[in-house]
Amino acid sequence: MQIWRKTGFPSGNTLSHIFNWNCSQVSYFHSSEFLVSDKRALLHALESSKTSLDLRTATKAHARILQCGYRTQPTLLASLISAYFHCHRLDLAHQLLHHISSRSRPCDSLVTFNLIIKTLTLDGECEIAEEVFRGMISRDVVSWNSLISCLVKHGRFEAAIAYLRDMLRFNVEPDGYTFSSVVSACAHLGVASHSLWVHQLMTERKIELNPILCGALINMYSKCGRIQTAREIFKRSPKSDVSVWNAMINGLAAHGLACDSIKVFSDMELEAVLPDSITFAAILTACSHCGLVEEGRRFFNLMRNRYSILPQLVHYGAMVDLLGRAGLINDAYEMIRGMPMEPDGVIWRALLNACRFHKRPELGEAALANISTVNSGDLVLMSNTYCSLSRWENAEAVRDSMKRRGIHKKRGKSWMEVGGAIHHFKSEDRSHPEAKAIHRALERLMKFSKLSGYVPWTEVVLMDVTEEEKEANLSVHSEKLAVVYGILKTSPGAEITVLKNLRICHDCHLWMKVVSRMLRRVLVVRDRTRFHRFEMGHCSCGNYW
């Protein structure tokens, strides 16, 4: 029995000269340029062949691997397979995999293939790991777990859930490790139906809920907008492990329920569970989302003085964000200057964002200058700061700088579930199958929303153009497209939930409030940092985000 599915290969060179190794061929590879037998040296040679697309070096390394008796060494085999893929010789990679399968006992081959997949996933070679996996005739739960974990780690959440469905179809029983990865995928996607289905599977299969899985479930439901379900799971969970408490505090923070987060922290202290650095990062974030400056300062001092936890970058970042959002820009800057370690880009970006919101361009420029690796979001924030003050020449200079450096603005993306399928939207995008209907409905809704009090907030537009052009630019943001599609496809009164990769802009926030009142619909938007629940013209964030 073979583990790898034999396939037809294109004509050309094969690996027969390596597979049929003999002493006469060894001399060819004994040249001084390739006298390596150390595993690390071979790995280095293979890595070099991948980056330089040097097939000759890869085949030489392959020969040395066989000569030195490393033909079953998973790390080397994984690197060799990857090298052949990068050199665009899938035929050689497939032949190598078939060779491994045919020369070993099935149980040994399965172990080797699993280790190859694991090594590829650790190296970030997700697509190659998936190719290896698809070619395997026999797979066990370890094979599936390795691939699903890899997909989740690389942001392919829908694919991870699809592989779980395939796993069940092939009658392979998922275990706790499987569900740990899939629950994380559901949390990132934020689609409630997937989360409910996965949780039901766990219940049916009587998966033991250890603290890690309990925390993962709380996190999953929190990120799907089901904070009440997350609370119920928290109540039923064993609470001896700090990770369960952290998940609940984080979930409440994401929904802007800072007072509830503080209450959970107090209960945690009463239960004599010691908070850790993650706990304080979560509670400081909760304070930041709601502008609880004094509470945030109290927890920051509590962490150091009572629990002897030294603040890390994440804690300073949360404090800078808290002070900056509250308009205490100078205090935020002084906190950065007083840090015992070098502030990272996240901290300077928090200050830059505060400067944009409170129109402090000079300090914003200082923050930007201190970010070592500037991305499009940083420059957009700086440009928006200038735009809000009508400093068009400065804004134009930032845009020209982006063009010269080849930096493109990160595109807004939103997604939502309708009818069991996930629909994706991009700003200014017309690729959706129902794009014409969506844009027609959006145009009508924009007109009615203006009659109901919506005034486009054109300060966020990056250009010095007419107001009409600015409004047109704002009207095609991805979350607006998603909301309109939800209105078209759901029954009147149904709640609409949209997920977004970036922070919701001020204009979309204003528009959502008006639409929620006008249509008497609850609109829920999960952006990059938190949830916004729009109902009857109000948002759960209290216009503080």
Q: Are 62 and 55 in contact (CB under 8 A)?
A: no
Please give the full DSSP string across 417-439, using - where no structure is assigned. Answer: EETTEEEEEETT---STTHHHHH
What residue type is 394 in one-letter code? N
DSSP letters of 304-352? HHTT-PPP-HHHHHHHHHHHHHTT-HHHHHHHHHT-SS---HHHHHHHH
Give me the phi and psi of 424, to 5 degrees please: -110, 145
286 neighbors 266 (Cβ within 8 angstroms) = no
Cα–Cα distance for residue pair 272/266, rounded to 1 Å:
10
CA distance 117 to 133: 7
pLDDT at 1: 47
pLDDT given at position 4:
53
CA distances from 416 to 16, 161, 301 (A): 51, 16, 41
Report the C-alpha gap between 133 and 113 in whole angstroms. 8
Task: Give residues with Cβ within 8 angstroms of 63, minimum separation 6.
Answer: 18, 21, 25, 26, 28, 29
The whole-angstrom separation of Cα 69 and Cα 72 is: 8
Return the structure tokens found at 293: 């400056």
Question: Does the predicted model carry a pTM greater than 0.95?
Answer: no
pLDDT of residue 72: 66
- Determine how β-strand 421-426 pairs with β-strand 413-418: antiparallel
Contacts for 156 with CB less than 8 Å, ≥ 6 apart: 126
Pairing of strands 413-418, 523-526: unpaired
Give the containing element (helix H, strand E) for 413.
Answer: strand 413-418
What's the length of the chain?
Answer: 545
Confidence (pLDDT) at 134: 86
pLDDT in the model for residue 2: 52
As a whole number of angstroms, the distance between CA 417 and CA 424 comes to 9
Residue 460 phi/psi, 5-degree rounding, is -80, -10
What interhelical angle do 126-135 and 106-122 show, nearest 10? 160
Angstrom distance (rounded) from CA 466 to CA 158: 41
Per-residue pLDDT of the chain (545 residues; tens, 9 = 90+): 455 555 443 434 555 554 444 333 333 334 434 444 577 777 787 787 777 887 888 888 777 777 777 766 777 878 888 888 888 887 777 777 776 666 555 556 788 788 888 888 887 888 888 888 888 888 999 999 999 999 999 999 999 999 999 999 999 999 999 999 999 999 999 999 999 999 999 999 999 999 999 999 999 999 999 999 999 999 999 999 999 999 999 999 999 999 999 999 999 999 999 999 999 999 999 999 999 999 999 999 999 999 999 999 999 999 999 999 999 999 999 999 999 999 999 999 999 999 998 999 999 999 999 998 888 889 988 998 998 888 988 988 998 888 888 888 788 899 999 988 999 999 888 889 999 999 999 999 999 999 999 998 876 565 545 555 555 566 789 999 999 999 999 999 999 999 999 999 899 999 999 999 999 999 999 999 999 999 999 999 988 87
d(CA 186, CA 195): 6
pLDDT at 226: 95
- Sign, Cα dihedral of 248, 250, 252, 257: positive
**Residue 28: what pLDDT?**
38
Q: Give the list of residues 6+ apart from residue 316 with CB closer than 8 angstroms, or none.
A: 335, 336, 339, 343, 347
pLDDT number for residue 32:
38
Edge-to-edge strands, sheet with 531-535? 421-426, 413-418, 496-500, 523-526, 531-535, 538-539
Q: Are 392 and 362 in contact (CB under 8 A)?
A: no
